[in-house]
Amino acid sequence: MAALVLESPGQLSLQQIPVPSPGPGELLVRVRAATTCGTDLKAYLRGHPMIPMPGTLGHEYSGDVVAVGDNAPYKVGDAIMGVHSAPCQSCYWCLHDQENLCESIMSTKVLGSYAEYLLIPERIARLNVFLKPESLSYETASLLEPFACVAQGVSLLDLKPDSTVLVIGPGAIGLLFVAALKAIGVTNVTLAGRNTSRLEVGNQLGATTCFVTDIPLPSTPGFDFVIECTGQVEVWEKSVDFARRGGTVMLFGVCAGGTRASFDTRRLHYDQIELISPFHFGTQAVKQAREWLLNPALDLTPLLSGVRQLDEATEVFADLQASRGIKYVFKP
Ligand SMILES: [Zn+2]
Ligand SMILES: [Zn+2]
């Protein structure tokens, strides 16, 4: 089968590798859609601690089950959507309601959805794969994983319908936050960024949009919640300025390794600003993301910037690096 391999930063190759065969509880999936992700772009540009090289790439997917191992939870012919990890549900973190921090959630994840077939390990097949209804396209279903990241973040915020929320960074994650907030009925959402076409998508998804330089400062009360989605240290630091007294800042964008951020300690203390920075997701967040995807009122198609072929991957990553498009869909 054809599979995209990341050899080293900046070096992709399309290779022929053997089609894996499923063991007990495993699923072999014919990938129908695999969306690109900022994590893949980071790995391509500078390497990534969670993505080994050389190795197959891609972790967002949907597809059809074409072979199963004994006692697999799905059957041949089922259309499915899933994520690429699952918690063990028995380690310290799993037993303390922090499945996202499970000690083996990263070491047991599966990469390689930029390929014709993807083998889903037993634990993931059992916990984090779902049937894809016909009403949901393969392309949109492939957004389950990034939407689960967003659902994990949302679950940590005590949001009310009248909460004021500022999302900084109109990339795929920022836009998915806008969509999720709309899904749970939070109407007062401001999306700030630089890229006008991405801001326009935010507008379509229901946010008020503005340039980062024009974010209303808290001379007025400031925002109840600020969600940082750029992964730039300066923006992490600046985010605190936009929160109201007693507000919460969620630092969601992942900064480059080895960086440090600094904050005004008096502001954090006397204005009681809460800082949180969630990682990954547990099974509840995946279920929540699935529910949102099934909501017909939510249209995520503006996030999909077009279908591309695996042999165009280098151009696709160049486009993403230049902020042309939001997410591309590979149909291997
Ligand atoms: Zn992703
Ligand atoms: Zn665990």
Q: Is residue 23 part of a domain?
A: yes
Question: Which residue carries 């990954």 as its tokens?
Answer: 280
For 16-43, the pLDDT digits (tens) are 999 999 999 999 999 999 999 999 999 9
Ligand nearest to the CA of 150: 1
Of 8-17, 46-55, 71-80, 156-165, the range with the lowest mean pLDDT is 46-55
Q: Does residue 48 sit in the same domain as residue 61? A: yes
Ligand nearest to the CA of 149: 1
Q: Does residue 116 sit in the same domain as residue 237? A: no
Ligand nearest to the CA of 35: 1
Q: Is residue 151 part of a domain?
A: no
% residues pLDDT > 90 (the chain): 94
Q: Does residue 128 sit in the same domain as residue 12? A: yes
The domain that holds 35 is classified in CATH as: 3.90.180.10
Domain ranges, residue 29 = 2-146+281-330
- Give 19 Cα–ligand 1 centroid separation in angstroms: 23
10 Å CB burial of residue 241 (0-12, 13-18, 19+) is middle
Q: Does residue 92 sit in the same domain as residue 171? A: no
- Give 51 Cα–ligand 1 centroid separation in angstroms: 12
Structure tokens at 129: 């794969």
The domain that holds 191 is classified in CATH as: 3.40.50.720
Which residue blocks in the chain are alpha helix, DSSP H?
38-46, 92-95, 122-127, 138-141, 144-155, 172-183, 196-204, 233-239, 265-270, 283-294, 313-321
10 Å CB burial of residue 116 (0-12, 13-18, 19+) is middle
Sign of CA dihedral 182, 184, 188, 194: negative
Q: Does residue 237 sit in the same domain as residue 316? A: no
What per-residue confidence (pLDDT) applies to 218?
55
Specify the DSSP class assigned to residue 206.
Answer: T
Ligand nearest to the CA of 123: 2
For 276-286, the pLDDT digits (tens) are 999 999 999 99
Q: How many of the other CB atoms lie within 10 Å of CB of 284? A: 15
Q: Is residue 78 part of a domain?
A: yes
Ligand nearest to the CA of 280: 1
Q: Does residue 184 sit in the same domain as residue 61? A: no
Nearest residue to 261 via CA among 228, 233, 241, 239: 233
Ligand nearest to the CA of 59: 1
Number of domains in the chain: 2
Q: Does residue 124 sit in the same domain as residue 6? A: yes
* b (16+ CB within 10 A) / e for 242-268: bbbeebbbbbbbbbeeeeebeeeeeee
Q: Does residue 20 sit in the same domain as residue 7? A: yes
CA–CA separation, 286 and 295 (whole Å): 14
Q: Does residue 84 sit in the same domain as residue 105? A: yes
Mean pLDDT along residues 49-76 = 96
- Give 95 Cα–ligand 2 centroid separation in angstroms: 7
Q: Does residue 21 sit in the same domain as residue 142? A: yes
The crossing angle, in degrees rounded to 10, of helices 144-155 and 172-183 is 60
Cα torsion at 233, 101, 280, 72 (round to 10°)? 160
Q: Is residue 81 part of a domain?
A: yes
The residues near 220 (Cβ < 8 Å, ≥ 6 apart) are none
Q: Does residue 95 sit in the same domain as residue 176? A: no
Sign of CA dihedral 152, 155, 156, 159: positive
> Quick check: 133 pLDDT over 60?
yes
Q: Is residue 240 part of a domain?
A: yes
Mean pLDDT along residues 211-221 = 76
The percent of the chain in helix, strand and coil, each rounded to the nearest 5, is: 30, 25, 40
Q: Does residue 258 sit in the same domain as residue 316? A: no
Q: Is residue 152 part of a domain?
A: no
- Give 268 Cα–ligand 1 centroid separation in angstroms: 31
For 217-257, the pLDDT digits (tens) are 655 679 999 999 999 999 999 999 999 999 999 999 999 88
Mean pLDDT along residues 1-14 = 95
Against a cut of 0.85, is the pTM above it?
Answer: yes
- Give 91 Cα–ligand 1 centroid separation in angstroms: 24
Query: Domain boundary residue among 257, 276, 295?
Result: 276
Q: Is residue 40 part of a domain?
A: yes
- Give 221 Cα–ligand 1 centroid separation in angstroms: 34
